[in-house]
């Protein structure tokens, strides 16, 4: 490993959502220092490595708040021996779990950090011929509401124990989720025995396919398995590897409402009651809602809810008997399917459209 360059300037500027500013570390002369309670991100160790004409700046930040943070990024600057800035760039801090952000059109972001957890970054500066030192000058974050993804916990990386061989980290990843995922990327973070980050690289996996009519890259369908091959850019002969972390990020469609029930028909029981029968056209509903309208009324009223787990033959023919009727009266019926939206969406329940409507006159 190339000689790690000592960091000579280090301070963090935190920009909370409401505009409060907090400074920790570094030279704060002329600035009013805020208390730690206004600090959302805790600086971790920063390691600078020169490889040829490139500088790699690695680091980690910690979420000290009791909520998820999103939009987490850092500004990294390179300085010459006289303290003059050579160049700078802003890079995202990658968390260990991507999340959906409702306020950003339900987009899925990687630069989110769970409360109490860390995120990691690498800034690469090419074609730097002179000696340089680095400074982590600013950290940005926001407290937006984030939502869990259905792929969380369902992307399994094998093997669990990995080694750096010929600068490569190899393994396989499998999608155990019930939905297709795309833009699937495996991250590998390597620390030396002193706890310094010495590599943070990634590799895309999967194939190019259409998902719901849209071409997507790096797709893993349910139960698909693929291999990854990550170039760590380190020489294991000169590095005492201490810790290797592997995790994945991805994109997925947000949950959609179930398909409406089909072919609703009505028959009369031996007791003269209406028996509704319909075809379950959805494979992911949690149940059905039964609606009823009296002949002299304009609106349908919900009269009952049936959980799919309470019924036999889910995916086939479902039935429901209405016993609350009066002789000689006419009623109209319709069915919807429903499923839970949370924790994956803001909506508590997702409802399908109505089935066809049927008429029944009690004998």
CATH code of 331's domain: 2.60.40.10
pLDDT score recorded for residue 193: 83
Q: Give yes or no for residue 282 having a pLDDT over 70.
A: yes
Higher pLDDT, 324 or 234: 324
Of the residues 187, 222, 251, the one at which a domain ends: 251
Same domain, 104 and 196: no
Same domain, 218 and 333: no
Same domain, 120 and 38: yes
> What number is the average pLDDT over the span 58-78?
89
Please check whether residue 10 is in contact with residue 135, taking contact to mean a CB–CB distance below 8 angstroms: yes
d(CA 62, CA 116): 7
CA dihedral 114, 102, 136, 193 (to 10 degrees): 30
- Give domain status of residue 148, yes or no: no
Of the residues 232, 251, 270, the one at which a domain ends: 251
- Per residue in 3-23, pLDDT (tens digit) is 333 332 222 222 232 222 222
pLDDT score recorded for residue 11: 29
Same domain, 239 and 282: no
- Per residue in 229-250, pLDDT (tens digit) is 999 988 755 566 668 899 999 9
Same domain, 109 and 228: no
> What number is the average pLDDT over the span 141-170?
86
Same domain, 91 and 162: no
> What number is the average pLDDT over the span 169-180?
93
- 0.85 exceeded by pTM: no
What is the CATH classification number for the domain harbouring 162?
2.60.40
DSSP 3-state assignment of 38? helix
Higher pLDDT, 202 or 311: 202
Q: Give yes or no for residue 315 having a pLDDT over 70.
A: no
Q: How many domains does the chain have?
A: 3
- Give domain status of residue 150, yes or no: no
Handedness of CA 324, 330, 336, 342 (dihedral sign): negative
DSSP 3-state assignment of 212? coil
Q: Give yes or no for residue 274 having a pLDDT over 90.
A: yes
Q: Give yes or no for residue 275 having a pLDDT over 70.
A: yes
pLDDT score recorded for residue 45: 67
Question: Any idea which of 74-88, 156-170, 291-305 has the lowest mean pLDDT?
Answer: 156-170
Q: Give yes or no for residue 197 having a pLDDT over 60.
A: yes
Which band of pLDDT confidence, cut at 50, 70 and 90, is reported for residue 80?
confident
- Give domain status of residue 182, yes or no: yes
Same domain, 225 and 287: no
- Give domain status of residue 332, yes or no: yes
- Give domain status of residue 209, yes or no: yes
Per the omega criterion (within 30 degrees of 0), is the bond before 177 cis?
A: no
Question: Any idea which of 29-43, 142-156, 209-223 has the lowest mean pLDDT?
Answer: 29-43
End-to-end CA distance of the chain: 88
Of 278, 279, 305, 281, residue with least CA distance to 291: 305
Of the residues 120, 142, 164, the one at which a domain ends: 142
Same domain, 131 and 189: no
pLDDT score recorded for residue 32: 32
Residues 206-230: b if buried by 16+ CB within 10 A, e if exposed: beebebeeeebebbbeeebebebeb
Q: Give yes or no for residue 66 having a pLDDT over 70.
A: yes
Q: pLDDT over 70 for what percent of the chain? A: 83
Same domain, 28 and 126: yes
Same domain, 175 and 88: no
Q: Give yes or no for residue 109 having a pLDDT over 70.
A: yes
Q: Give yes or no for residue 305 having a pLDDT over 50.
A: yes
- Give domain status of residue 37, yes or no: yes
Phi/psi at 37 (nearest 5 deg)?
Answer: -65, -20
Average pLDDT, the chain: 83
- Give domain status of residue 4, yes or no: no
Same domain, 129 and 160: no
pLDDT score recorded for residue 83: 86
Show the tokens assigned to 356: 């066809």
Higher pLDDT, 313 or 174: 174
Same domain, 357 and 291: yes
> What number is the average pLDDT over the span 84-90?
91
Instruction: Domain of residue 328: give its range.
Output: 262-361
- Residues 6 or more apart from 336 whose CB is under 8 A from it? 260, 261, 288, 289, 291, 351, 352, 353, 354, 355
- Give domain status of residue 147, yes or no: no
Q: Give yes or no for residue 111 having a pLDDT over 50.
A: yes
Neighbours of 8 (CB within 10 A): 11
Which band of pLDDT confidence, cut at 50, 70 and 90, is reported for residue 102?
very high
């Amino acid at each position: 490993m190339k000689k790690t360059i000592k960091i000579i300037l280090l301070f963090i500027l935190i920009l909370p959502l409401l505009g409060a500013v907090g400074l920790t570390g570094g030279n704060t002369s002329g600035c009013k220092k805020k208390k730690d309670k206004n600090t959302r991100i805790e600086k971790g160790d920063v390691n600078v490595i020169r490889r040829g004409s490139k500088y790699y700046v690695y680091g980690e930040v910690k979420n000290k708040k009791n909520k998820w943070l999103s939009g987490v990024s850092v500004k990294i600057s390179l300085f010459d021996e006289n303290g003059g800035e050579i160049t700078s760039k802003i890079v995202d801090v990658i968390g260990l779990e991507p999340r959906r952000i409702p306020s950003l059109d339900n987009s899925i972001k990687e630069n989110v950090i769970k409360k109490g957890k860390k995120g990691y970054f690498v800034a690469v500066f090419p074609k730097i011929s002179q000696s340089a030192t680095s400074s982590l000058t600013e950290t940005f974050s926001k407290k937006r509401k984030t939502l869990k993804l259905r792929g969380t916990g369902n992307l399994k990386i094998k093997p669990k124990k990995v080694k750096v061989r010929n600068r490569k980290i190899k393994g396989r990843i499998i999608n155990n989720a019930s939905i297709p995922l795309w833009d699937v990327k495996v991250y590998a973070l390597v620390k030396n025995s002193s706890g310094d980050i010495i590599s943070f690289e990634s590799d895309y996996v999967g194939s190019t396919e259409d998902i719901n009519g849209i071409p997507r890259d790096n797709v893993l369908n349910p139960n698909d398995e693929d291999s990854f091959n990550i170039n760590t850019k380190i020489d294991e002969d000169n590095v005492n590897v201490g810790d290797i972390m592997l995790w994945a990020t991805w994109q997925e469609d947000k949950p959609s409402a179930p398909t409406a029930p089909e072919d609703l028909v009505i028959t009369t029981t031996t007791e003269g009651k209406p028996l509704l029968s319909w075809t379950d056209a959805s494979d992911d509903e949690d149940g059905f809602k039964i609606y009823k309208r009296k002949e002299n009324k304009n609106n349908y009223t919900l009269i009952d809810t049936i959980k799919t787990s309470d019924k036999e033959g889910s995916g086939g023919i479902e039935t429901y008997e209405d016993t609350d009727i009066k002789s000689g009266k006419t009623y109209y019926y319709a069915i919807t399917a429903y499923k839970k939206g949370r924790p994956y969406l803001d909506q508590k329940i997702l409802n399908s459209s109505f089935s066809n409507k049927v008429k029944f006159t009690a004998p």
